[in-house]
Amino acid sequence: MTYANTYHALAKFGRELLEKKTLSQGLPLISLYAKNVMKAERCSIFIYDKNEHTFWTTLADGVERIIIPSSKGLVGETLDERKPIVTNDPYNHPKFLSDIDKSTGFVTKNVITAPIFSSKREILGVFQLLNKEEGFDKDDVKFMIFFSHYISGFLELTNDYLKKED
C-alpha cells in the first residue's frame, strides 16, 4: 500500500493542524502537507459558500483570498458530482478551464480533486492537487478520500461553528 507509512505520520500533522485557531491559518498547513505527501506541485483547498455560489481559497500566506464561481471547472464538477475527479490529460477534459493556465503561465499536466463533506453530508469544500510527475492513480484517489475526511472535522468546526470568533 503506497500510503501505508503516511498513515502513521498523519497524527503528527493532525496535532499541528489543531493548533491553528482559524480556517485561514489552517489552510496553508493542509496544502503544504498534502503537496509533500502526494508529491504534487500545487495544492488548493476551495471552501464552498453556498449562499454566494462561490468558492474561496487563500494563497500560501493564508491572508489573501481568491474567489471563483462555484459552477466552473473541475472544482465545480466535483461539487456537482460529489465525488473525486482525476484527469491525467486535463486539456482534453471538457470541464477543464485552460484559460487560467493561459493567464498565469502555469501548465497543468494532471489534476486530482476530492469533495470535503460536513457532518450533515453537505459539501464544505473541494480539495485539489495539480501536477504529480508520474500522474495520479487509484492509490492517490484513495488517499485523497481518506485525507479529505480526516481534515473535514477541523474545516467544519472552524468554518461553521467557530466562525464568528475569528
Q: Is 78 in the site for another protein (CB under 8 A)?
A: no
**Binding flag, residue 62, another protein (CB under 8 A):** no
* Interface with another protein, residue 18, by CB under 8 A: yes
Question: What 3-state DSSP class applies to 89?
Answer: coil
Rounded-to-integer distance, Cα 109 and Cα 140, Å: 16
**C-alpha span between 17 and 154 (Å, rounded):** 8
Residue 148 touches another protein, criterion: CB under 8 A: yes
Bridge-based pairing state of the strands 123-132 and 111-117: antiparallel
Among 51, 92, 94, 161, indicate the residue that binds another protein (CB under 8 A).
161
Alpha-carbon dihedral angle through residues 114, 120, 12, 21, given to the nearest 10 degrees: 110
Least CB distance from residue 16 to another protein, whole Å?
Answer: 9
CB of 17 to another protein, least distance (A): 8
DSSP class per residue in 120-139: TS-EEEEEEEEEETT---HH
Q: Which CA distances in Å does 52 have to 31, 46, 49, 97? A: 24, 14, 6, 21
Cell of 32: 503544504
The contact pattern for another protein, residues 91-130, with x = CB under 8 A and - = no contact, is ---------------------------xxx----------
* Site membership for another protein, residue 138 (CB under 8 A): no
Binding-site string for another protein from residue 21 to residue 50, where x marks contact by CB under 8 A and - marks none: x-----------------------------
Q: Which of 79, 130, 150, 159 binds another protein (CB under 8 A)?
A: 150
Residue 83 corresponds to which cell in the numbers above?
465525488
Q: Does residue 54 bind another protein (CB under 8 A)?
A: no
Question: Binding residues for another protein, per CB under 8 A?
Answer: 4, 7-8, 10-11, 14-15, 18-19, 21, 118-120, 145-146, 148-154, 156-157, 161-162, 165
